[in-house]
Homo-oligomer: A and B are copies of this chain.
Amino acid sequence: MAATFKERLYRGYAQAMEIVGKPLIDEKSPYQRIQIFDTTLNGRVMTLDGVVQITSRDESAYAEMLTHLPMLEHGKVKSVMIVGGGDLSIAEEALKHRSVKDVVLVDIDGRVVELCKKHFAAVNAKAFKDKRLTVEIADAFEYLSRKECKSRFDLIVGDRPDPIGPGQALFGETFYDRIKRALRPGGIATFQTGVPFYQPSEVTEALAELKRHFPQSGLYLTVVPSYIGGFMALSWAGKGRRLGTPAGIKKAAAAFKRLKLKTDYYTPAIHAAAFALPAWIERLKP
C-alpha cells in the first residue's frame, strides 16, 4: 500500500490521506516540522507539526473568504497585513484587487515561505512576482507593535495557527490590542477561528475577546474539507465598520462584478450566506 499521512489534531478523531509518490519535503525548521506531499484526493498538501495547513484542492475556500469578503465590503483597501500566511495563498487573493498598494506578510518561519515558493507555485507564483508584496520574516506579534504600524492597514488577516505552541500569542488580549492599533479607521481584521464542531470553545472565547476589544465584531463561516469537521469559523473585527450588513453585501456584489474577480469558492451569494449560522453554532456565541 502507498504511504499515508495521518493527522491527529484532535484526541479521538483522525483523518488519513494517501500519499502519491515520495513525500517532497519532510524537515525541521527552527520552529516546526514541515511536510509537503502529493495525495490521491486532496492535491498537494503542506502540514506543520503534523497538522494540515494548506491543500491545493481547497485553499480557495479559506483564502478567498478571509480576503475578498472584507475587501469587497470595504471597497478601498490599500494596505494589507497578513499575520502568518507563509504559503502566500492569502497574499495572492489580496493582490487581485487593483486598489491594493501594498501587502505585508509577516511569518515567523522563513523556511515555510521558501518551500512554498518552490512547491506551491500554482497557488502563489503571481504573488511572489508582485512588487506590491513585502515578506517579513518576523514574529507578527512583535511586528505589530512597531512604530510604523500604527494606523497603517485597512485589512489585517490573521492566518494564525491553532492556539497551541508558539501560535498562542496570536490569541491573547494583547494581540487584539495590537491589531486594533495597527488598523486604520474604518479598517477590518479577519481571523481563522477554528472548527466549531471539534473546537467549540475557541469560537466562544474568540468572540468574547473581539467584543471586548473592538467596536464591531462577528462571525462568519466557510467550508474547507481538509480542515476536518465541516464548517470553519472565521471572525471579523471592525474599527468603525460592520461586516455583513445588507448594504455591505449589496456593495460587495456590485464590486465583485465590476472587478471581474475569478474565484473558486467566493460568490456574492456565498458572501451573503456566510453570515447564516446553524442553530448549534448560534448557541456558541458568548
Question: Taking CB as reference atom, which chain B residue is nearest A10?
Answer: B41
Are A39 and B12 interface neighbours, CB within 8 A? yes
Total copies of this chain within the assembly: 2
A34 at the interface (CB under 8 A from B): no
C-alpha gap A273/B231 in the complex (Å): 14
Contact of A13 among B40, B60, B224, B272 (CB under 8 A): B40
**B-contacting 9-mer, from A77-85, A106-114, A141-149, A263-271:** A263-271
Closest CB pairs A-B (n = 6):
A12-B40, A273-B273, A273-B276, A225-B230, A269-B276, A12-B18
A214 at the interface (CB under 8 A from B): no
Q: Which residues of B sit under 8 angstroms from A277, Cβ to Cβ?
A: 267, 269-270
A139 at the interface (CB under 8 A from B): no
A interface with B by C-beta (< 8 Å): 6, 10-18, 39-42, 57-58, 60-61, 197-198, 223-225, 228-231, 263-267, 269-270, 272-280, 282
C-alpha gap A46/B93 in the complex (Å): 41
Are B279 and A41 interface neighbours, CB within 8 A? no
Are A40 and B15 interface neighbours, CB within 8 A? no
C-alpha gap A58/B228 in the complex (Å): 14
Residue contacts A-B, CB under 8 angstroms, 22 given: A11-B40, A11-B41, A12-B40, A13-B40, A14-B15, A14-B16, A198-B225, A223-B230, A224-B230, A225-B228, A225-B229, A264-B278, A264-B280, A265-B279, A265-B280, A267-B276, A267-B279, A269-B277, A270-B279, A272-B273, A272-B276, A273-B274
Query: What's the minimum C-beta distance from A281 to chain B, rounded to whole angstroms?
Result: 9
C-alpha gap A33/B171 in the complex (Å): 46
Q: Given A270-B278, A277-B270, are A41 and B12 neighbors across the interface (CB < 8 Å)?
A: yes
Contact of A17 among B13, B57, B58 (CB under 8 A): B13
C-alpha gap A217/B16 in the complex (Å): 36
Q: A13-B40, A14-B15 are in contact. List 14 more A-B contacts (CB 8 A).
A: A6-B16, A11-B40, A12-B17, A15-B16, A57-B197, A58-B197, A223-B278, A264-B278, A265-B280, A266-B278, A266-B279, A267-B282, A269-B276, A273-B274
Q: Which residues of B sit under 8 angstroms from A57, Cβ to Cβ?
A: 197
Q: Which residues of B sit under 8 angstroms from A273, Cβ to Cβ?
A: 272-274, 276
Question: Taking CB as reference atom, which chain B residue is nearest A60?
Answer: B280
C-alpha gap A270/B274 in the complex (Å): 9
C-alpha gap A272/B277 in the complex (Å): 11
C-alpha gap A224/B197 in the complex (Å): 10
C-alpha gap A41/B42 in the complex (Å): 24
Are A278 and B282 interface neighbours, CB within 8 A? no
Q: Given A198-B41, A228-B228, A230-B223, are A278 and B14 neighbors across the interface (CB < 8 Å)?
A: no
Query: What's the minimum C-beta distance from A1 to chain B, rounded to whole angstroms?
Result: 11
